[in-house]
Amino acid sequence: MISIFDPHLHLFDYENGDYNWLKSEHGPNWPNIEKLRRSFNETDLKLSPPFKLVGYNHVEAGFDNLAPEKELEFLRTQNQLPFSAIAFIAIDCSPGEFLSQINTLNSKQSFVGIRDITEGKDALRLSAPNVIENLTLLNEHKLIFEAQFELENIDACTTLKRYARKLPNLQFVVNHAGLPNKCLSKNWQTGLNLLGEEPNIAVKMSGFEMIGQADNKSFLRQILEHLIASFSSKRVLLASNFPVCLIQLSYHDIWQNYLNLDLPESQFKQLCHDNAVRIYMKKEL
C-alpha cells in the first residue's frame, strides 16, 4: 500500500460556516461548482488500493474569518485520522491583533500555521509594514506561513524571498504551485526559481482542476519537472485540494494521476508522504 499524507485539503461544515466565497453568486466561475455546495467530512476522503490515507493537513476554507478558531473546533469534533490545520489570519493586520489570534489558535492541538490568500491586487498586502513583524511572531511560535498568489507576480515573489532570507527558520509553503496558467509562462518559471533558492520555502502541487488541467498528464509532468528542478524532491508536496478537485476528478483519481507520472518509488513516497509529514506533523506517521 502507498501511504498518503495529504497536505492540502478542506473539510466543510457548509450549513454552519460562512464560506462566502462559495455561497456567493459572485464566487469562482468553475464548472460543476454545485458539487462543492455541501458539507464534507473525513468519510468523503475515499481512496482505494494501492492508496491508504494516513493523515492530512486541513487548510482554512473561510468557515469564519473573524473567529478562525471555530473552524479548528469543527475539525476536532469530526476527525479520526491524524491531522494538522492551517488557520486564517490576515498577514497585514496589527501585530497586537495577530498575536492575540495566535494565542487563541494555539489552544487547538491541530494548529500549525496560517494562510492568507493574496492573489491578484491583494498581493500588495504582502508588502505592508506589519508583515515582517507578524512573520517574526509566527517564527517565534514555530508556525508555518502558507502563501497563495500568482508566481507570475515577480514583485510578490521578491518580497516573499526577502522575508524567507530574513527569517531562515520560518517555514514558508507556496500553495497550488504558484497558480500557473495553462501556458506555464516565463514569469511563472522565473518566480518559481526565485523562491526555490530559499531552503525554507516548500511548494505544493495541486489545484489544477481550477484551470481544467487535473487530468492532463503532459501538463502535470511539466509542472512537476519544474517544481523539482527549482525546489528539489525534498521540498515538493503532492496534494489534492479536496473537495475542489471534485469539479473535475474524484479524490482517488487525483492520486492515481500523480502515480501515473511514473516517478521512482522512493521519490513518490517523498512527495506524497514524507515531505508533508516532516513539515506539518509533530511526530512520524
Q: Flag whether pLDDT at 194 surpasses 90.
A: yes
For β-strands 111-117 and 83-88, DSSP reports them as: parallel
pLDDT class for 25, splitting at 50, 70, 90? confident
Give the pLDDT score at 284.
64
pLDDT class for 285, splitting at 50, 70, 90? low
Put the strands of the sheet holding 144-148 in their side by side order. 2-9, 51-59, 83-88, 111-117, 144-148, 171-174, 201-205, 236-238
Contact 188, 156 (CB under 8 A): no
Mean pLDDT, range 251-262, rounded to an integer: 98
Q: Is 99 left (phi over 0), alpha (psi -120 to 50) or beta?
A: alpha
Q: Flag whether pLDDT at 26 surpasses 90.
A: no
pLDDT class for 94, splitting at 50, 70, 90? very high
Mean pLDDT, range 253-272, rounded to an integer: 98
Give the pLDDT score at 78.
81
pLDDT class for 241, splitting at 50, 70, 90? very high
Nearest CA among 23, 97, 273, 188 for reference residue 114: 97
Q: CA-to-CA distance for 90 and 105, rounded, in angstroms?
A: 14
Of the listed ranges 72-81, 84-93, 272-281, the least confidently predicted one is 72-81
Mean pLDDT, range 30-48, rounded to an integer: 96
Q: Flag whether pLDDT at 247 surpasses 90.
A: yes
Q: Give the pLDDT confidence of 220-239 residue by residue, as tens digits.
A: 999 999 999 999 999 999 99
Give the pLDDT score at 283.
62
Q: Flag whether pLDDT at 7 surpasses 70.
A: yes
Q: Grid coordinates 523539482 are at which residue? A: 228
Q: CA-to-CA distance for 254 and 209, rounded, in angstroms?
A: 10
pLDDT class for 49, splitting at 50, 70, 90? very high
The cell numbers describing 262, all together, are 511514473
Q: Flag whether pLDDT at 282 surpasses 80.
A: no
Give the pLDDT score at 27.
83
At residue 231's C-alpha, the angle toward residues 30 and 182, to 5°, is 30
Give the pLDDT score at 134.
98
Query: Which residues neighbour 185 within 8 Å (Cβ) at sequence distance 6 or greater?
Result: 152
Contact 197, 173 (CB under 8 A): no
Q: Which residues of 63-97 are buried (b: 16+ CB within 10 A; e: fewer)?
A: bbbeebbbbbebbeebbeebbbbbbbbbbbbeeee
Q: Flag whether pLDDT at 260 surpasses 80.
A: yes
Decide: pTM greater than 0.95: yes
For β-strands 171-174 and 201-205, DSSP reports them as: parallel
Q: Grid coordinates 475539525 are at which residue? A: 75
Nearest CA among 277, 275, 281 for reference residue 235: 275
DSSP 40-53: B-GGG----TTEEE
Q: Flag whether pLDDT at 143 surpasses 70.
A: yes
Give the pLDDT score at 169.
98
Q: Give the pLDDT confidence of 146-182 residue by residue, as tens digits.
A: 999 999 999 999 999 999 999 999 999 999 999 999 9
Give the pLDDT score at 165.
98
Q: Flag whether pLDDT at 69 surpasses 80.
A: yes
